[in-house]
Structure 1
Amino acid sequence: MATRKLKRAGVSDDMCEQLKRHRIESCKDLLSLGPLEVMHAAGLSFRRASELLQTVSRAVVPPVTTALELWRQHSCFSTSLPALDRVLRGGLPRGTLTEVTGPSGCGKTQMCLMLSVLATLPQSLGGQDSGVIYIDTESAFSAERLVEIAQSRFPDHFGCREKVLQMAGRVHLFRALTCRNVLNRLDRLEEDIISTGAGLVILDSVASVVRKEFDTTLPGNLMHRSNMLGHEASTLKYLAHQFNIPVVLTNQITTHVGGQGSEGDSWFVTAALGNTWSHSVNTRLIVQYVDDRRRQILIAKSPVAPFAVLNYTVEKQGICMDGEDGQEVLYEGTDPGLQPIRVQTGFNFNLTKPMEWTEQTEQ
């Protein structure tokens, strides 16, 4: 809450400009100062400076909410996949972080593109009639594929060029190819959500730039990486809650050594970024290979859903489930940060050098 911009806390535009000259832009910036410091920065009397601090303080205090109010407000963002929506009790929960993790080629970006189309649809068709903010850290976004999914999945609605252009114009793409780019974008994300009318935020992927820039074998890098990821998670959680919208993240895979995988080996593939990150997301969906064509979605972590698995394929119209009754609880679950993930077979890999195999699967 304290990261909220001062303008959204009831501070006038003139006062925001005055404080910005002293690098005071968020509620946190202001509340970290004493009345005398605020007097100097804002050019106010002691009494007015104290009143300003009290006004901003009240604006960021989380309101008391009853369970009944939460129950009435509960809503989800439908994925247009009835089987998945049924397991998740309605779809992707608003106001929280949902992560999709798995090996390359399983359809993580395809899922993000499909959700982007869905968010722009009118409410009569199950959409949100809203904009989308899509932060791309891997240069994987394809406007052509976005249009193809829209026209193939909803041919009646997107039968005319005008509707296609309207949909594409509501998906706002930001390319962030470094950690600094990502942090700068997140710092401005609150204003972006308001200006674009966004009802969905996508970060594809959260791991890409972090793993490129932080060599965790070097002293101090692991701590810096954890601090950055913690900042990203807290910012996104605040925005998801503040605007009551779903935030979707994609993640990569890594090799975990020293445990027991699903095949009884001493190493196995699992989600990247470690256990601390896995507990930062509210819902984790794991995508993995079944064979050359079929894939699976595992609900590995959810406050409402059971540990379940659903089969799917990636088609011209995006993600397609194998039938309506495909869900079944197939495993008892484990720590979401250590859930083994099946990758594509057929690679030439050396069991004595698992990290080399991991690099192949992540490319």
Structure 2
Amino acid sequence: MAPLNSLSKEYPLIDSNFQTFCASHAIYSVEDFLLHDLDALFASAANHSNSERLKQGIHQLLLIVDALHPPVLNGLQLIEDAKRNKHVFSTGCEGIDALLGGGLRVGQLTELVGPSSSGKTQVCLMSSSTVAKNKCSVIYLDTGNSFSPQRIAYFVGQSSDYVSVNQADHRLLQNILDRIICYPVFDVYQMFDLLHQLKINLRSQIVKSDHQVQVLIVDSISSLITPILRGNGPQGHALMISSGFLLKQLAHEHNIAVLVTNHVVGGDDGNPKPALGESWKSVPHVRLLLSRDCRSNVSNISIIKHPAMASGRSATSTRLFV
């Protein structure tokens, strides 16, 4: 989000005095402001000689934050928006595509939930290869060193060893891999930096038309967010919500499909449930639960949440672990 010093021309209340006051609380951007305790900030402002102007500056920042949220749409506008954003991208997994009516829908955030080794990363790699094969670009944020060119080679129908394919096939594979832009990401702040840069690139149309970014993948979102929720209180929670908002904003404003993965934790009833808690579950538009039968290597995919489909619908796949 915008640094405070970039707002002063448009918003006179965000002047150098206000920026100095904010800097004394380690607030240098709108994002920093969101993470701060507002009650404590107002209390601190009250102790200054220009307290009223500082409070007005705080209220101005709150209005700026409100303006960042997309407007509320009525029913007709929602239908028109759905028509504009009806394009879907195949994941390459027949079970998931059948379950979702074609695949990943642009303008939406889809979440894959499942235990370790359930196939979440395989779906991400398969989706990347399928989208890139259709001459669209994919941004892949890899949080666990799990990105595998060998699996990409397999999914595009080449070989399990991408080094040994023939020259013509190697060129095809190289073109596909060139369209998958993979970034190793190891903390939520690095993810914010990359997503903000992506937003700037998309707005500036830096990406070439024949390599238009259509899909954004974060594998896994929970490995970035879980550490900040431990002992960080409201700051960790605010970062989590900001992450979800930014991902949905990118999907909505730039008509891209966003796919994230999440692990499971034990529920109160002993059954596994998605990690990241009650607040996060409202973030994804679509939530899918993956499970794997290790004896047969069959994956089961079921709908946890979908804006247009009933929860509980399921499908199977045998391709993820071949």
Tell me if TM exceeds 0.5.
yes
Q: Which residue of 2 aligns with 1:232?
A: 243
Q: Say which of 180, 199, 207 aligns to 2:222.
A: 207
**Which aligned pairs between 1:277-356 and structure 2 lie closer than 5 A?**
277-292=280-295, 293-306=297-310, 307-315=312-320
Indicate if the aligned counterparts of 1:107 and 1:314 stay in contact, CA closer than 8 A. no
Once residues 70 and 316 of structure 2 are traced to their aligned partners in structure 1, the CA distance between those partners, rounded to angstroms, is 44
Q: Could you tell me which amino acid in structure 2 is paired with residue 132 of structure 1?
A: V
255 and 83 in structure 1: CA distance in 2 versus 1, 3 angstrom threshold = closer
Shift of 1:312: 1.8
Once residues 186 and 118 of structure 1 are traced to their aligned partners in structure 2, the CA distance between those partners, rounded to angstroms, is 23
Q: Could you tell me which amino acid in structure 2 is paired with residue 133 of structure 1?
A: I
Once residues 277 and 58 of structure 1 are traced to their aligned partners in structure 2, the CA distance between those partners, rounded to angstroms, is 22
**Which aligned pairs between 1:183-202 and structure 2 lie closer than 5 A?**
183-193=192-202, 194-196=205-207, 197-202=212-217
1:134 aligns with 2:140: yes
Please tell me the root mean square deviation across aligned C-alpha atoms, in Å: 3.2
| Of 288-297 and 239-248, the range deviating more from structure 2 | 288-297
Once residues 105 and 70 of structure 1 are traced to their aligned partners in structure 2, the CA distance between those partners, rounded to angstroms, is 36
Q: Say which of 107, 117, 133 aligns to 2:119.
A: 107
Once residues 299 and 313 of structure 1 are traced to their aligned partners in structure 2, the CA distance between those partners, rounded to angstroms, is 18
Shift of 1:222: 3.5
Once residues 23 and 175 of structure 1 are traced to their aligned partners in structure 2, the CA distance between those partners, rounded to angstroms, is 30
1:223 aligns with 2:239: no
Q: Could you tell me which amino acid in structure 1 is paired with residue 238 of structure 2?
A: N
Stretches of structure 2 lacking an aligned partner (at least 5 in a row): 17-65, 160-166
SS at match of 2:218: strand
1:168 aligns with 2:177: yes
Indicate if the aligned counterparts of 1:99 and 1:248 stay in contact, CA closer than 8 A. yes
Shift of 1:82: 4.3
Shift of 1:304: 1.4
Indicate if the aligned counterparts of 2:99 and 2:314 stay in contact, CA closer than 8 A. no
Give the fraction of aligned pairs with identical amino acids, expressed as a percent.
24
195 and 117 in structure 1: CA distance in 2 versus 1, 3 angstrom threshold = farther
Alignment deviations for residues 334-360 of structure 1 (CA, whole Å, 9 cap, x no partner): xxxxxxxxxxxxxxxxxxxxxxxxxxx
Alignment deviations for residues 271-326 of structure 1 (CA, whole Å, 9 cap, x no partner): 11011101111100110133432221111100112231112224466xxxxxxxxx
Stretches of structure 1 lacking an aligned partner (at least 5 in a row): 6-19, 39-56, 123-128, 260-266, 318-363
Q: Which has the higher contact order (CA 8 A, sep 6+)?
A: 2
Q: Could you tell me which amino acid in structure 1 is paired with residue 259 of structure 2?
A: V
Q: Could you tell me which amino acid in structure 2 is paired with residue 100 of structure 1?
A: L
Q: Which runs of 4+ in 1 moved over 6 A?
A: 57-61
Q: Which residue of 2 aligns with 1:13?
A: none
| Of 29-38 and 308-317, the range deviating more from structure 2 | 29-38
Once residues 112 and 104 of structure 1 are traced to their aligned partners in structure 2, the CA distance between those partners, rounded to angstroms, is 14
Shift of 1:34: 3.2
Report the count of equivalent residues.
256
Shift of 1:142: 1.2
Once residues 195 and 94 of structure 2 are traced to their aligned partners in structure 1, the CA distance between those partners, rounded to angstroms, is 32
Q: Say which of 275, 280, 284 aligns to 2:278.
A: 275
Once residues 187 and 14 of structure 2 are traced to their aligned partners in structure 1, the CA distance between those partners, rounded to angstroms, is 38
1:254 aligns with 2:265: yes
Q: Which residue of 2 aligns with 1:356?
A: none
